[in-house]
Amino acid sequence: MIWQENVTSIVMLTNLTEGEHAKGSHYWPNEKESLTFVVVFVDLAEEKTYAFFTKRKLTLSHKFQNTRVITHYQYTAWPDYGRPEPLSLIVFHQHVFTARNKKKVPTVVHCSAGVGRTGVFIALDALYQEGKKTGKVNVAEFVNRMRHNRVSMVQTYVRFVLEQYMVIYLALNEIFKAPIKVKSVTEFCNTMEKMSSSKSAANTRFLHDEYQLLQKLCAPCKTIDHRTRHKNSKGRLENQFPLVCKHGQHLSAILPKEDNYTNIVYFPSYTNARSFIVTHYPTQEGAVNFLRMLIDHGSNTVVCVDPLRDIDSMKSWLPVERSSKVMIPFILHCQSTSKKHSEGHSINIRDHQQGDTEHTLAVYGPISRINPFGMPQNRLELLRLVSDVIDSKPDSPITVVSRDGTSLCGVFIAVHNVIQQLTIDSYVDVFTVVRQLRIQEPNLCNSIEEYEMVYRTVYDEVQTTTRQL
């Protein structure tokens, strides 16, 4: 069918298995493998993994004809019996249809049965195009038209029909309020050069407009500063602020009467949906629970946004080079303190409660304090910190910590993610990267100064990379 209809793109909206159910066949080859379907041969030419989807280039060769290239997009973040994050779905949609085929050949869209998620995606695309042209959409009418052509579109089991129908509204709401607009490296540099070379308000207006739109889309929550935490009726210190409950992950073993880390939230990188954990520095009494949280969530990397020497509570548990500390039930030994550009410690943690199991931890911090109001040296410190973490290629969640659990954490993650975006796709979209973080925690990048720092630090990275080339 793909060959006959001259298809160039396939959109797959399911994983191969979800729960205990098989959802589809692995009809594309793995790397360095080939598949044969009678007279059609399929090879994997390229595969890119993103936080919420995978993009593949497949080479199709016909025994009696020529060779074609097919792009295969697989959305991997649609929960079984649930609805996807609307923004993640429109980011996926943007990747699929950035360069629409001028020949107007059909795009194949499928899920498992080819009606539920498939109908949602087709409706999202068609209604978005209609909305751009006419300024209005009619979701019910379009879904009804689809069902005349294919029974049960936008439908699964009865209790989930509304879930899928809502996804169309929620995704359209996100994309119409703020469409995704990516910039090529050249466009991004031209924009930043205009902003830097002129004092005209018009050249910086775009930054303020974007930030104000972010504020409307992701209203910040009220936070309680670390220094103003209060004790509850049992005399225990309360956490600074409640993180978004729907994203929370619970700690399996919490020691009493100390800080607890029950509201752990995962944040995406550009390539992994669960790359970051954001929280606050532990108190001296809460260091054991902080370590337990790292072990429970398999985090082997801690990034402090302040110099390690300036964080008093870190000194209570972080050993100096070639020394050890006992934090019952843990024994911590510092193996080394050398990093390329930033301050760092390589720590070995032994857990006596778990049969002397070992956990290796890399702790990073800037050499000097990073101030979003400061000079270019502050951006250089941030960029060095991000570069060291990227170069270390961590294969587990990165825990980013600050005094209040938000300040500069979003800046670090956003710069990290945009640099990944540059490396993989050679374009820049700071707004969407920050927007995805703020959907989960609206207090990240919650000042125009931090937002501008992301832009300027990314520009510094582009300039550095260009000079090196």
pLDDT digits (tens, 9 = 90+) for 406-452: 999 999 999 999 999 999 999 999 999 999 999 999 999 999 999 99
On whether both 171 and 320 belong to a single domain, the answer is: no
Q: Are 349 and 445 within one domain?
A: yes
| Backbone angles phi and psi of 181, in degrees to 5 | -130, 105
Is 230 inside any structural domain? no
My answer on whether 287 and 407 are in the same domain is yes
Q: Is residue 203 part of a domain?
A: no
pLDDT reported for residue 468: 61
Is residue 271 in some structural domain? yes
Residues 359-378 pLDDT 10s:
999 999 999 999 998 789 99
What band does 198 get if pLDDT is binned at 50, 70 and 90?
low
Q: Which helix (H) or strand (E) holds 347?
A: strand 343-351
**Nearest Cα residue to 21 out of 95, 81, 88:** 81
In this prediction, residue 51 carries a pLDDT of: 97
Say if 233 falls within a structural domain: no
Structure token pair of residue 462:
């582009």
pLDDT band at 255 (very low <50, low <70, confident <90, very high): very low
266 and 407 housed in the same domain: yes
First to last CA, the chain: 45
How does strand 324-327 pair with strand 330-336?
antiparallel
Q: Are 171 and 306 in the same domain? A: no
Residue 3 near residue 60 (C-beta atoms within 8 A): yes
Total count of domains within the chain:
2
Q: Within a domain: residue 186?
A: no
Are the C-beta atoms of residues 437 and 267 closer than 8 Å to each other?
A: yes
Q: What residue type is 401 in one-letter code?
A: V
Mean pLDDT to the nearest integer, 166-180: 95
Q: Are 297 and 252 in contact (CB under 8 A)?
A: no
Task: Return the percentage of the chain with pLDDT > 70, whole number.
Answer: 86
pLDDT of residue 72 exceeding 50: yes
Closest C-alpha among 114, 85, 13 to residue 54 = 13
Residue with tokens 């795009």: 107
Residues involved in catalysis = 111
Q: What angle do CA 304, 305, 307 make, to 5 degrees?
A: 80
Query: 45: helix, coil or strand?
Result: strand
Residues 255, 126, single domain; the answer is: no
Dist. CA 441–CA 266, nearest whole Å = 10
* Predicted local confidence at residue 195, as pLDDT: 86
Pick the more confident residue, 467 or 184: 184
CA 397 to CA 267: how far, in whole Å? 9
Q: Rounded to whole angstroms, what are the CA distances from 461 to 150, 364, 400, 466?
A: 50, 20, 21, 8
Residue 231 is given by DSSP the state B
Give the CATH number for residue 48. 3.90.190.10
Burial class (CB in 10 A: 0-12, 13-18, 19+), 289: buried
Backbone angles phi, psi at 164, to 5 degrees: -70, -40
Domain co-membership, 158 together with 243: no
Q: In terms of pLDDT, which residue wins out, 428 or 256?
A: 428
193 occurs within a structural domain: no
Q: Quote the pLDDT of residue 232.
A: 41
- Which residues are CB-contacts of 418 (< 8 A; sequence separation ≥ 6)? 270, 428, 429, 430, 433, 454, 458
If DSSP codes are grouped into helix, strand and coil, which group holds residue 235? Answer: coil
- 252 and 400 both lie in a single domain: yes
Please name the amino acid found at residue 74: Q
Closest CA to 295 of 336, 264, 271: 264
Does a structural domain hold residue 208?
no
Write down the pLDDT at residue 243.
Answer: 37
Range of the structural domain that residue 113 is part of: 9-177
Spatial contact of 429 and 181, defined as CB atoms under 8 Å apart: yes
Quote the tokens at residue 167: 């996804």
**239 or 1, greater pLDDT:** 1
Name which of 279, 220, 207 is nearest 453 in CA terms: 207
Pairing of the two strands 53-62 and 40-49: antiparallel
Does an H or E element contain 411, and which?
helix 409-425
Whether 142 has a pLDDT exceeding 90, the answer reads yes
On the question of pLDDT at 136 being above 60, the answer is yes
What percent of the chain is helix, strand and coil (3-state, nearest 5)?
A: 40, 20, 40
Other beta carbons less than 10 A from residue 15's beta carbon: 17
Is 192 a domain residue? Answer: no
The CA distance from 423 to 420, in Å, is 5
Instruction: Tell whether 161 and 245 lie within a shared domain.
Output: no
Same domain, 158 and 244: no
Burial class for 389, CB neighbours closer than 10 Å (0-12, 13-18, 19+): buried
Do residues 25 and 170 both lie within one domain?
yes
Which of 69-83, 223-237, 264-278, 439-453 comes out lowest in average pLDDT? Answer: 223-237
What integer is the mean pLDDT of 459-465? 92
Indicate whether 283 and 430 sit together in one domain: yes
pLDDT of residue 19: 87
Q: How far is CA 139 from the centre of its chain?
A: 29
